[in-house]
Structure formats: structure tokens, C-alpha cells
Structure 1
């Protein structure tokens, strides 16, 4: 996404606005910090401000997060935040975050494309986490986390079905994401 939006895959020197510092958002913020990115962060829980201090990030009020000027907006909390009312106020080149259902409706994707804002659907952004979860599944019971992956000789049959369905979900998500991405890119170049 960085290469598509900025001509380089480098994250260092880019500013990312992470909205939501729960388990996933805080992990994303830490990874971006390690990559040398600048951070603007927020959360509805004021106690999360400590992470902003730890990472040298700028803290903004949750109500101002969508309108703060950043290179990439990273919705990592509630879905439905991108609407016909909020998209015109965005001050970013791209949106890529793990929050589910970031768009309030499919037509909002066209509004982003019309503004030249590249959007990566959450199913694409989160596909890596699904694969990580599958790889960490306990192959004997079909749930939880295990350090014995890849599969033990006596893997539980339920685990195999779980891996099959997770793999199918990931494949579906990647195909859907690629289709949406291709469509948005074509609309962006018109």
C-alpha cells in the first residue's frame, strides 16, 4: 500500500494515525514505531495514553482522529467509521486497518476512490492474522495455541477441519480483497 500511495514501500518517515489501541491496534502501533514511522494515536480509554508516551506518538482526542492529517489512517477499533459524512473530512492518502467493516456501506468505497484515497479492505489487512492463528492452532484439540505446529502425528480430525475452513476463509478474503483492490485502483486512475 505504501508503494502504491507514495512510490516506495518504506514506512519510515510516513505518519500513521492508529485509531484504537486495544490488543491489535497497540501491536500495529508498536510494529509501525519499530519501522520508523511517525504515529498519531487515540483510544476512547484515556489509560492507553501511556502507550503514546512509550512510543513517542502524538495523542489526539478520539473525536479528532479521522480528521487529523496523516499519510495512512489505521482504523483498529469500531467499524463503520468511514461514511459519506466522514470521508470528505479525511486528510490521508490511504486507509488500511484491522477494524472490521470500516465502511458503513459499499458505496463509501467509491467516495474514497473519488478522493484518490487508497483503501485496503479489512479482510485483506487482517488475512495475515488469520493465517497466524491457524498456524498456532493446537493440532490435537482443534483450538487454542500450540508450540508444536506444524501438525503432530496424531492430529485431531476436528483440527484438520478447522484448518480447512480457516484456509478457505483466508482464500475467500484474499480473492475478495484482490477484486475490490483492482476495482478501486481502476476507479482511481479514471
Structure 2
């Protein structure tokens, strides 16, 4: 991969790579765009097969974070950190503190929080080395578990899609197939269970499936979830699951889930639209976590009420994306991108005018 050419093509401002032999840290931080404020995004720890795979993930995820914050009306730019390694095997205090020192070298251009493979405990270790950490436990003055609001946002986005497809937002009696049963999916399912929704879940980890069974949920194999006959398919694991091979297998009317970068390519968003499957762009409906983080940044400190109020607006934002898609006869993926780009362009114009007046 020609890194600089890729950065220029996608508008990335910075990519930083870090190594700490003593702890075993190998990490990449990508800053996509800081037009709206400091880049903010979680740190993902995953056993990537290569550095190129990790870099590609960081670049794609950081761009999605720019769009996520822009569409949600937040004052954050987009960034993402990835740590190469199996969190179940090589994670340690020393590694997380080394990563915290890496974050600190960026001087506040990037604010980190949790993502797949990292926890609030990891943030506490990072906090020993840098102040540029968000989403800390409430006991430490932070906003706590971001997955709670992320799950709520997914639920609100689903309801907006249900209103469009079935004429009302009720999910009672509908079948939702959930791919991945981690923290975000668990909080989503709590809301769905309150509506007496039929839920079918899968996960690659047996302990997650055991928890699903304890909740009384139906469980299926990872290889079967994409072909489950359902009303809503909810990808809540890793990205790229919607592609030319998997989309023809779908048996649903709506795709709405928490995984980042669900579309392997832009063409996949167009294919869902062509097939009449309503796609809820991931960065629109999974923004509850970053909204929760922003709610701790004000002078008054974290307000769960403010976080919940802004997260519930995802219903309205998703509705706006659907209306734009219909009015302009474009896919919801393109409509969502237009929404984010319009805000970015408007702030760039404001900044340009200010500079010209100085």
C-alpha cells in the first residue's frame, strides 16, 4: 500500500506508528479530519494478520469516525487507534501504559476511548500516561461504559427504519438476527426484549453464546446467521460483512447494526438499495458511544440525561437520511455521507471566512 497516496485520496491528515519492544506494543493511530475538533475514536486491539491489514482498518475506521461525529452534530474530528495483538493473550498493564504514552505524543490531536478488545480498565492504565483519554469510569469523573448509549442508539435507529418499512416503529413480533453478542449487542437486545422481539444471535466466543442462552435467546452458528430468515439483520461484530458474497444471502428487509464499516465497498451500499433492503448506515446509528463521550467534555461534567437525549435524536437523524434517500433517489449510504459532508463543508467555509477577515 502506498500510504501517502491513500491518505491523500481519503483526506487523512496523519498516520502515526508506534513500537515499544519492552511491552510488545505495536500500534497505529490514524487522524482523519480535525475540522470539527480534536480527532476522537476508540482504540481497537485485534490479532491482525499483517501490519497492512491493521493500517487499512485504522484508515477506514478513522474516516468513519469523522462522518459519525459530523452527522451527530458533535464537536469532534475522526480518529482511530489499533493495537496489533490478541487481547486475550498479550494484553498487559505495561502494554496499555506504553500505548498511553504513544497517544500523549500527539498532544491532544487524538482522544481515545474503548473499542473492540479494550476495556475501561485499559483506559485507566492509559490514563496513567496521558490525559487524552475519554470514557473513563464514572467514579473517575468520566462518562462510563459507552456501549450502553451505543445500544440505545442502535435501537432508536432500528425503530426509525421500522417506521419506514412497516408503517410504525414497533418491533414486537419482529425477528432480529444479531451477528456478535458483545457489550453493544447485549444492550441492544435488552431494549428489544422489552418489546418482545424475537432475537436470534451468534458469536465466535462460546461464553457469549452461553450468556445468550441464559437470557433465553435463540442461538445459531456464525455460518448460519447471514441466511437467517428475519426482519432485521444486525451486524454487531467486525466490518466488511456486507459484500458481494453475503448480500445475496440476506433474508431481511432492514440491515441495522453496531459494527463499524459494515460495507466492504461503496458498491455494496448501492446493491442493498437496489435489492430494496433498507440499510441504516453504521456511523449514523452507532453514534451513541461517541455522544456519551462528548457529554463528559463540558464544564459541568458528565450528564447522563444530556447523553441520553442526544442519543435518542439518532431516530430523527436516521429518518432524515431515509427522506433524503427517497427524495434524491440515492442509497441511504450516499445520503448519510452527504449529511456528514455538508456539515464539514459548512464549518470549513466558516473557518475560511474567519481567516480572510484577519
TM-score by length of 1: 0.74
Distance 2:225 2:211 in 1: 16
Distance 2:291 2:212 in 1: 29
Give the alignment partner of residue 44 of structure 1, picking from 166, 189, 204: 204
Q: Within the alignment, does 1:183 sit opposite 2:343 as a pair?
A: no
Deviation, structure 1 residue 27: 1.3
Distance 2:251 2:330 in 1: 20
Structure 2 gap ranges (5+): 1-160, 304-309, 311-316, 332-358
Deviation, structure 1 residue 50: 2.3
Report the counterpart of residue 104 of structure 1 in structure 2: 264
Q: Call closer, same or farther: CA 1:181–1:60 in 2, change over 3 Å.
A: farther
Deviation, structure 1 residue 179: 5.2
SS at structure 1 position matched to 2:276: coil
Task: Report the structure number with the largest CA radius of gyration.
Answer: 2
Q: Within the alignment, does 1:28 sit opposite 2:188 as a pair?
A: yes
Map Cα deviations across residues 97-133 of structure 1 (whole Å, 9 max, x no partner). Answer: 1100000001101111111100010111112332122
Structure 1 gap ranges (5+): 141-145, 151-166, 168-173
Deviation, structure 1 residue 180: 7.6
Report the counterpart of residue 7 of structure 1 in structure 2: 167
Q: Within the alignment, does 1:74 sit opposite 2:234 as a pair?
A: yes
Map Cα deviations across residues 127-184 of structure 1 (whole Å, 9 max, x no partner). Answer: 233212222x2657xxxxx9x435xxxxxxxxxxxxxxxx9xxxxxx69x95587337
8 Å contact from structure 1 (residues 93, 116) kept in 2:
yes
CA RMSD of aligned residues (A): 2.8
Distance 2:258 2:240 in 1: 12
Give the alignment partner of residue 120 of structure 1, picking from 280, 296, 314: 280
The count of aligned residue pairs is 160
Between stretches 25-34 and 117-126, larger displacement belongs to: 25-34
TM-score by length of 2: 0.41
Distance 1:20 1:184 in 2: 31
Distance 2:186 2:203 in 1: 10
Map Cα deviations across residues 50-79 of structure 1 (whole Å, 9 max, x no partner). Answer: 232233211010111111111001111100
Question: Which structure has the highest strand share of the two?
Answer: 2
